[in-house]
Amino acid sequence: MSHSLNRVEIDLGALRHNYRALQEQAGKGAEVLAMVKADAYGHGLVPVARTLAAAGARTFGVAEIEEGIALRQAGLEGEVIVLLGAPADRLDEVIVHRLSPVVFDLEMLAELSRRAVLAETRVDVHLKVDVGMGRLGILPPELPHFLDSLSRLPGVRLAGVSSHLPMADRPQAAVTREQCRLFMEIAARVRQASPEARFHLANSAAHLNLPETRLDMVRPGIALYGGQPGGPTAGGFRPVMSFRSRIQQVKEVPAGTGLSYGHTFVTSRPSRVAVLPVGYDDGLLRRLSNRAAVLIGGRRVPLRGNICMNACMADVTDLPAVRPGDEVVLLGRQGGEAITAGEIAGWLETIDYEVLCLVGGLNARLYVGAERGTGE
Protein backbone atom coordinates (compact mmCIF):
# COMPACT_ATOMS: atom_id res chain seq x y z
CA MET A 1 0.00 0.00 0.00
CA SER A 2 2.92 2.37 0.65
CA HIS A 3 3.74 2.22 -3.09
CA SER A 4 0.22 3.11 -4.26
CA LEU A 5 -0.19 5.68 -7.00
CA ASN A 6 -2.66 7.47 -4.71
CA ARG A 7 -2.06 8.99 -1.32
CA VAL A 8 -3.98 10.61 1.48
CA GLU A 9 -2.08 13.44 3.19
CA ILE A 10 -2.79 14.13 6.86
CA ASP A 11 -1.76 17.63 7.93
CA LEU A 12 -0.83 17.33 11.60
CA GLY A 13 -0.29 21.09 11.82
CA ALA A 14 -3.94 21.63 10.86
CA LEU A 15 -4.96 19.03 13.44
CA ARG A 16 -3.07 20.86 16.19
CA HIS A 17 -4.63 24.15 15.10
CA ASN A 18 -8.14 22.71 15.27
CA TYR A 19 -7.58 21.12 18.68
CA ARG A 20 -6.25 24.35 20.17
CA ALA A 21 -9.08 26.39 18.65
CA LEU A 22 -11.64 23.99 20.13
CA GLN A 23 -9.97 24.06 23.54
CA GLU A 24 -9.86 27.86 23.48
CA GLN A 25 -13.57 27.98 22.62
CA ALA A 26 -14.38 25.49 25.38
CA GLY A 27 -12.64 27.65 27.96
CA LYS A 28 -10.70 26.69 31.05
CA GLY A 29 -13.68 25.00 32.66
CA ALA A 30 -14.22 22.39 29.94
CA GLU A 31 -11.85 19.74 28.65
CA VAL A 32 -11.73 18.59 25.04
CA LEU A 33 -12.44 14.87 24.82
CA ALA A 34 -10.69 14.15 21.53
CA MET A 35 -12.74 11.78 19.42
CA VAL A 36 -10.33 9.36 17.75
CA LYS A 37 -12.79 6.52 17.17
CA ALA A 38 -13.14 4.86 13.76
CA ASP A 39 -9.40 5.13 13.14
CA ALA A 40 -9.64 8.85 13.95
CA TYR A 41 -12.30 9.37 11.29
CA GLY A 42 -10.00 7.78 8.74
CA HIS A 43 -7.00 9.91 9.70
CA GLY A 44 -5.08 7.20 11.61
CA LEU A 45 -5.71 6.39 15.27
CA VAL A 46 -2.22 6.34 16.73
CA PRO A 47 -0.56 9.21 14.77
CA VAL A 48 -3.56 11.45 15.45
CA ALA A 49 -3.73 10.59 19.15
CA ARG A 50 -0.01 11.15 19.59
CA THR A 51 -0.26 14.55 17.91
CA LEU A 52 -3.21 15.55 20.07
CA ALA A 53 -1.48 14.34 23.24
CA ALA A 54 1.57 16.45 22.36
CA ALA A 55 -0.79 19.40 21.87
CA GLY A 56 -2.28 18.92 25.34
CA ALA A 57 -5.12 16.39 25.00
CA ARG A 58 -5.55 14.13 28.03
CA THR A 59 -8.80 12.34 27.25
CA PHE A 60 -9.61 10.28 24.16
CA GLY A 61 -12.82 8.74 22.87
CA VAL A 62 -12.73 5.40 21.05
CA ALA A 63 -15.55 3.18 19.85
CA GLU A 64 -14.29 -0.26 20.84
CA ILE A 65 -11.84 -1.91 23.20
CA GLU A 66 -9.37 -2.74 20.41
CA GLU A 67 -8.85 0.95 19.72
CA GLY A 68 -8.21 1.63 23.39
CA ILE A 69 -5.70 -1.19 23.59
CA ALA A 70 -3.92 0.15 20.51
CA LEU A 71 -3.55 3.55 22.20
CA ARG A 72 -2.10 1.98 25.35
CA GLN A 73 0.30 -0.18 23.34
CA ALA A 74 1.44 2.99 21.55
CA GLY A 75 2.28 4.55 24.93
CA LEU A 76 -0.67 6.92 25.21
CA GLU A 77 -1.53 7.94 28.75
CA GLY A 78 -4.60 9.81 29.99
CA GLU A 79 -8.16 8.57 30.07
CA VAL A 80 -9.47 6.44 27.21
CA ILE A 81 -13.27 6.29 27.12
CA VAL A 82 -14.79 3.32 25.25
CA LEU A 83 -18.03 4.69 23.83
CA LEU A 84 -19.66 1.37 22.94
CA GLY A 85 -18.96 -0.07 26.36
CA ALA A 86 -17.55 -3.52 26.98
CA PRO A 87 -19.04 -7.01 26.75
CA ALA A 88 -18.62 -9.31 29.74
CA ASP A 89 -15.93 -11.41 28.06
CA ARG A 90 -13.68 -8.36 27.53
CA LEU A 91 -13.81 -6.86 31.04
CA ASP A 92 -10.40 -8.18 32.05
CA GLU A 93 -8.90 -6.26 29.13
CA VAL A 94 -10.68 -3.12 30.29
CA ILE A 95 -8.98 -3.50 33.66
CA VAL A 96 -5.53 -4.47 32.36
CA HIS A 97 -5.39 -1.56 29.89
CA ARG A 98 -6.98 1.00 32.23
CA LEU A 99 -9.89 1.83 29.95
CA SER A 100 -13.03 3.72 30.99
CA PRO A 101 -16.10 2.05 29.49
CA VAL A 102 -19.42 3.74 28.90
CA VAL A 103 -22.02 1.81 30.92
CA PHE A 104 -25.75 1.30 30.48
CA ASP A 105 -26.25 -2.24 31.81
CA LEU A 106 -26.31 -3.13 35.50
CA GLU A 107 -25.47 -6.78 34.96
CA MET A 108 -22.31 -5.87 33.10
CA LEU A 109 -21.47 -3.25 35.71
CA ALA A 110 -21.82 -5.78 38.54
CA GLU A 111 -19.44 -8.16 36.75
CA LEU A 112 -16.96 -5.33 36.17
CA SER A 113 -17.14 -4.53 39.88
CA ARG A 114 -16.44 -8.16 40.81
CA ARG A 115 -13.42 -8.39 38.53
CA ALA A 116 -12.05 -5.00 39.62
CA VAL A 117 -12.19 -6.11 43.27
CA LEU A 118 -10.36 -9.35 42.41
CA ALA A 119 -7.71 -7.29 40.62
CA GLU A 120 -7.49 -4.90 43.61
CA THR A 121 -8.11 -1.87 41.43
CA ARG A 122 -10.80 0.64 40.55
CA VAL A 123 -12.31 1.27 37.13
CA ASP A 124 -13.73 4.62 36.07
CA VAL A 125 -16.99 4.39 34.13
CA HIS A 126 -19.14 6.88 32.22
CA LEU A 127 -22.90 6.45 32.43
CA LYS A 128 -24.81 6.98 29.19
CA VAL A 129 -28.30 8.45 29.50
CA ASP A 130 -30.52 8.56 26.41
CA VAL A 131 -32.29 11.93 26.27
CA GLY A 132 -33.61 11.43 22.75
CA MET A 133 -31.06 9.82 20.46
CA GLY A 134 -32.78 6.45 20.69
CA ARG A 135 -29.43 4.71 20.73
CA LEU A 136 -27.30 3.41 23.63
CA GLY A 137 -28.07 4.53 27.16
CA ILE A 138 -30.53 4.18 30.00
CA LEU A 139 -33.74 6.18 29.90
CA PRO A 140 -34.09 9.08 32.36
CA PRO A 141 -36.69 7.30 34.57
CA GLU A 142 -34.16 4.50 35.14
CA LEU A 143 -31.55 6.90 36.51
CA PRO A 144 -32.35 6.74 40.27
CA HIS A 145 -32.25 2.93 40.37
CA PHE A 146 -29.07 2.79 38.27
CA LEU A 147 -27.27 5.35 40.45
CA ASP A 148 -28.34 3.61 43.66
CA SER A 149 -27.11 0.26 42.36
CA LEU A 150 -23.84 1.73 41.12
CA SER A 151 -23.16 3.38 44.48
CA ARG A 152 -23.25 -0.04 46.15
CA LEU A 153 -20.70 -1.61 43.82
CA PRO A 154 -17.05 -1.57 44.93
CA GLY A 155 -14.24 -1.23 42.45
CA VAL A 156 -16.05 1.12 40.09
CA ARG A 157 -16.33 4.89 40.17
CA LEU A 158 -18.75 7.13 38.31
CA ALA A 159 -16.29 9.35 36.43
CA GLY A 160 -18.77 10.85 33.99
CA VAL A 161 -22.30 11.08 32.69
CA SER A 162 -22.99 11.64 29.01
CA SER A 163 -25.69 11.86 26.40
CA HIS A 164 -25.93 12.76 22.73
CA LEU A 165 -28.02 15.27 20.79
CA PRO A 166 -29.38 13.93 17.49
CA MET A 167 -30.27 17.39 16.13
CA ALA A 168 -27.53 19.64 17.45
CA ASP A 169 -27.20 21.12 13.96
CA ARG A 170 -30.65 22.60 14.56
CA PRO A 171 -30.03 24.39 17.86
CA GLN A 172 -33.32 26.31 17.90
CA ALA A 173 -35.44 23.22 17.35
CA ALA A 174 -37.84 22.59 20.21
CA VAL A 175 -36.71 18.98 20.51
CA THR A 176 -33.06 20.03 20.89
CA ARG A 177 -33.92 22.58 23.56
CA GLU A 178 -35.97 20.02 25.48
CA GLN A 179 -33.19 17.43 25.34
CA CYS A 180 -30.69 20.00 26.62
CA ARG A 181 -33.03 20.93 29.46
CA LEU A 182 -33.49 17.29 30.38
CA PHE A 183 -29.75 16.59 30.49
CA MET A 184 -29.08 19.71 32.59
CA GLU A 185 -31.70 18.46 35.03
CA ILE A 186 -30.00 15.07 35.14
CA ALA A 187 -26.59 16.67 35.66
CA ALA A 188 -27.86 18.74 38.59
CA ARG A 189 -29.34 15.65 40.21
CA VAL A 190 -26.27 13.47 39.77
CA ARG A 191 -23.80 16.17 40.79
CA GLN A 192 -25.24 16.21 44.29
CA ALA A 193 -24.44 12.53 44.83
CA SER A 194 -21.27 12.35 42.70
CA PRO A 195 -19.50 15.72 42.76
CA GLU A 196 -16.42 14.27 41.01
CA ALA A 197 -18.38 13.15 37.95
CA ARG A 198 -17.88 15.11 34.74
CA PHE A 199 -20.74 15.78 32.36
CA HIS A 200 -20.42 15.76 28.59
CA LEU A 201 -23.14 16.35 26.04
CA ALA A 202 -21.66 18.49 23.24
CA ASN A 203 -20.51 17.00 19.96
CA SER A 204 -19.01 19.36 17.36
CA ALA A 205 -22.34 20.90 16.36
CA ALA A 206 -23.50 21.40 19.95
CA HIS A 207 -20.13 22.78 21.01
CA LEU A 208 -20.31 25.41 18.29
CA ASN A 209 -24.05 26.14 18.23
CA LEU A 210 -25.02 25.63 21.89
CA PRO A 211 -22.27 26.97 24.16
CA GLU A 212 -24.35 26.15 27.23
CA THR A 213 -23.82 22.44 26.51
CA ARG A 214 -20.05 22.58 26.96
CA LEU A 215 -20.26 21.71 30.66
CA ASP A 216 -17.16 19.84 31.96
CA MET A 217 -16.13 18.26 28.70
CA VAL A 218 -16.85 18.56 24.98
CA ARG A 219 -16.59 15.76 22.41
CA PRO A 220 -15.58 17.29 19.05
CA GLY A 221 -15.17 14.87 16.19
CA ILE A 222 -15.72 16.29 12.73
CA ALA A 223 -14.62 19.82 13.71
CA LEU A 224 -11.35 18.40 15.03
CA TYR A 225 -10.62 17.17 11.51
CA GLY A 226 -11.73 20.36 9.79
CA GLY A 227 -15.16 19.21 8.65
CA GLN A 228 -18.46 21.02 8.99
CA PRO A 229 -20.92 19.61 11.54
CA GLY A 230 -23.86 21.54 10.11
CA GLY A 231 -25.93 24.42 11.39
CA PRO A 232 -24.81 28.03 11.94
CA THR A 233 -21.31 27.01 13.02
CA ALA A 234 -18.26 29.21 13.34
CA GLY A 235 -15.48 28.79 10.81
CA GLY A 236 -11.76 28.77 11.32
CA PHE A 237 -11.09 25.03 11.26
CA ARG A 238 -8.59 23.70 8.76
CA PRO A 239 -9.15 20.52 6.74
CA VAL A 240 -6.70 17.88 7.93
CA MET A 241 -7.08 15.35 5.09
CA SER A 242 -6.36 15.69 1.39
CA PHE A 243 -6.47 13.01 -1.32
CA ARG A 244 -4.03 13.20 -4.22
CA SER A 245 -3.07 11.15 -7.26
CA ARG A 246 -1.30 11.60 -10.59
CA ILE A 247 -2.36 11.38 -14.21
CA GLN A 248 -1.49 8.01 -15.69
CA GLN A 249 -2.28 8.66 -19.37
CA VAL A 250 -3.53 11.51 -21.57
CA LYS A 251 -5.27 10.65 -24.84
CA GLU A 252 -7.07 12.53 -27.58
CA VAL A 253 -10.38 11.09 -28.74
CA PRO A 254 -12.80 12.21 -31.48
CA ALA A 255 -16.35 13.46 -30.99
CA GLY A 256 -18.76 10.62 -30.44
CA THR A 257 -16.42 8.56 -28.26
CA GLY A 258 -18.05 6.69 -25.42
CA LEU A 259 -16.12 6.62 -22.16
CA SER A 260 -15.95 3.72 -19.69
CA TYR A 261 -18.47 0.99 -18.90
CA GLY A 262 -21.92 1.53 -20.35
CA HIS A 263 -20.85 4.61 -22.33
CA THR A 264 -22.78 6.81 -19.89
CA PHE A 265 -20.83 9.75 -21.30
CA VAL A 266 -20.19 10.30 -25.00
CA THR A 267 -17.96 13.16 -26.14
CA SER A 268 -19.70 15.90 -28.08
CA ARG A 269 -16.43 17.33 -29.47
CA PRO A 270 -12.83 16.21 -30.00
CA SER A 271 -11.58 15.83 -26.45
CA ARG A 272 -8.52 15.21 -24.34
CA VAL A 273 -9.06 12.66 -21.61
CA ALA A 274 -6.81 12.12 -18.60
CA VAL A 275 -6.93 8.62 -17.14
CA LEU A 276 -6.49 8.60 -13.36
CA PRO A 277 -5.50 5.51 -11.33
CA VAL A 278 -8.33 6.05 -8.83
CA GLY A 279 -11.58 4.13 -8.55
CA TYR A 280 -14.14 2.83 -6.15
CA ASP A 281 -11.57 0.53 -4.55
CA ASP A 282 -9.90 3.75 -3.40
CA GLY A 283 -13.09 5.36 -2.08
CA LEU A 284 -14.03 7.23 -5.26
CA LEU A 285 -17.43 5.62 -5.29
CA ARG A 286 -19.20 4.74 -8.54
CA ARG A 287 -22.06 7.03 -7.54
CA LEU A 288 -19.72 9.95 -8.28
CA SER A 289 -19.64 9.02 -11.98
CA ASN A 290 -20.48 12.07 -14.13
CA ARG A 291 -21.04 14.08 -10.93
CA ALA A 292 -17.67 14.76 -9.38
CA ALA A 293 -14.79 17.04 -10.31
CA VAL A 294 -11.08 16.99 -9.55
CA LEU A 295 -8.36 19.63 -9.57
CA ILE A 296 -5.60 19.58 -12.17
CA GLY A 297 -3.29 22.56 -12.59
CA GLY A 298 -5.34 24.48 -10.04
CA ARG A 299 -8.53 24.21 -12.10
CA ARG A 300 -11.66 22.09 -11.81
CA VAL A 301 -12.27 19.44 -14.41
CA PRO A 302 -15.21 17.02 -14.52
CA LEU A 303 -15.01 13.24 -14.22
CA ARG A 304 -16.64 11.62 -17.25
CA GLY A 305 -18.02 8.13 -17.69
CA ASN A 306 -18.53 5.45 -15.08
CA ILE A 307 -15.87 5.21 -12.39
CA CYS A 308 -14.12 1.83 -12.53
CA MET A 309 -12.64 -0.25 -9.73
CA ASN A 310 -9.16 1.27 -10.12
CA ALA A 311 -9.50 4.01 -12.72
CA CYS A 312 -11.56 6.98 -13.86
CA MET A 313 -11.40 9.61 -16.60
CA ALA A 314 -11.30 13.39 -16.42
CA ASP A 315 -12.08 15.73 -19.31
CA VAL A 316 -9.05 18.04 -19.61
CA THR A 317 -9.93 19.46 -23.03
CA ASP A 318 -10.15 23.01 -21.73
CA LEU A 319 -6.87 22.90 -19.80
CA PRO A 320 -3.45 23.86 -21.12
CA ALA A 321 -1.24 20.88 -21.90
CA VAL A 322 -1.26 18.26 -19.15
CA ARG A 323 1.04 15.25 -18.96
CA PRO A 324 1.21 11.88 -17.25
CA GLY A 325 2.58 12.39 -13.78
CA ASP A 326 0.83 15.72 -13.20
CA GLU A 327 -0.78 15.95 -9.77
CA VAL A 328 -4.52 15.46 -9.36
CA VAL A 329 -6.37 16.57 -6.22
CA LEU A 330 -9.56 14.70 -5.44
CA LEU A 331 -9.98 16.20 -1.94
CA GLY A 332 -8.16 19.28 -0.80
CA ARG A 333 -6.64 22.44 -2.22
CA GLN A 334 -4.60 23.09 -5.36
CA GLY A 335 -3.77 26.68 -6.19
CA GLY A 336 -6.79 28.87 -5.53
CA GLU A 337 -9.33 26.05 -5.84
CA ALA A 338 -10.48 23.50 -3.28
CA ILE A 339 -12.72 20.46 -3.16
CA THR A 340 -14.04 19.79 0.34
CA ALA A 341 -15.31 16.66 2.02
CA GLY A 342 -18.64 18.42 2.32
CA GLU A 343 -18.79 19.00 -1.43
CA ILE A 344 -18.02 15.34 -2.12
CA ALA A 345 -20.66 14.38 0.43
CA GLY A 346 -23.16 16.51 -1.48
CA TRP A 347 -22.41 14.65 -4.70
CA LEU A 348 -22.81 11.35 -2.84
CA GLU A 349 -25.92 12.51 -0.94
CA THR A 350 -24.28 11.65 2.38
CA ILE A 351 -22.24 13.45 5.07
CA ASP A 352 -18.58 14.42 5.17
CA TYR A 353 -17.94 12.05 8.11
CA GLU A 354 -18.52 9.12 5.76
CA VAL A 355 -16.30 10.59 3.07
CA LEU A 356 -13.34 11.01 5.44
CA CYS A 357 -13.68 7.51 6.93
CA LEU A 358 -13.96 5.98 3.48
CA VAL A 359 -11.08 7.77 1.78
CA GLY A 360 -8.77 7.66 4.78
CA GLY A 361 -9.37 3.98 5.38
CA LEU A 362 -8.71 2.83 1.82
CA ASN A 363 -5.49 4.62 0.90
CA ALA A 364 -1.88 4.96 1.94
CA ARG A 365 -1.54 7.85 4.40
CA LEU A 366 1.32 10.33 4.43
CA TYR A 367 1.69 12.47 7.55
CA VAL A 368 3.00 16.00 7.16
CA GLY A 369 3.52 18.83 9.62
CA ALA A 370 4.83 16.81 12.58
CA GLU A 371 6.64 18.77 15.27
CA ARG A 372 10.16 17.68 16.01
CA GLY A 373 10.80 16.10 19.38
CA THR A 374 7.17 15.31 20.11
CA GLY A 375 7.10 11.67 19.00
CA GLU A 376 4.37 12.40 16.43
As annotated, the active-site residues are: 37, 261
Cβ-based neighbour number of residue 311 at 10 Å:
19
Please report which helix (H) or strand (E) contains residue 17, including its range: helix 12-26
Please give the distance of CA 374 from its chain centroid, rounded to a whole number: 23
Please tell me the distance from the alpha carbon of residue 32 to that of residue 214, in angstroms, as a whole number. Answer: 9
Element (H, E) at 39: helix 37-42
Three-class SS of residue 214? coil
User: Long-range contact list for 358-361, CB < 8 A, 24+ apart?
Assistant: 358/42, 358/283, 358/285, 359/8, 359/42, 359/241, 359/243, 359/282, 359/283, 359/330, 359/331, 360/8, 360/10, 360/39, 360/41, 360/42, 360/43, 360/44, 360/241, 361/39, 361/42, 361/283
Distance CA 205, CA 69 (A): 29
DSSP string, 100-152: EEEE--HHHHHHHHHHHHHTT--EEEEEEB-SSS-SSSB-GGGHHHHHHHHHT
Return d(Cα 161, Cα 200) in angstroms, integer: 6
**Beta strand 312-315 pairing with 271-276:** antiparallel
Candidates 1, 13, 39, 11; CA nearest to 332 is 11
Alpha-carbon distance of 164 to 84, in angstroms, equals 13
Strands 31-35 and 123-128: unpaired
Separation CA 21–CA 18 (nearest Å): 5
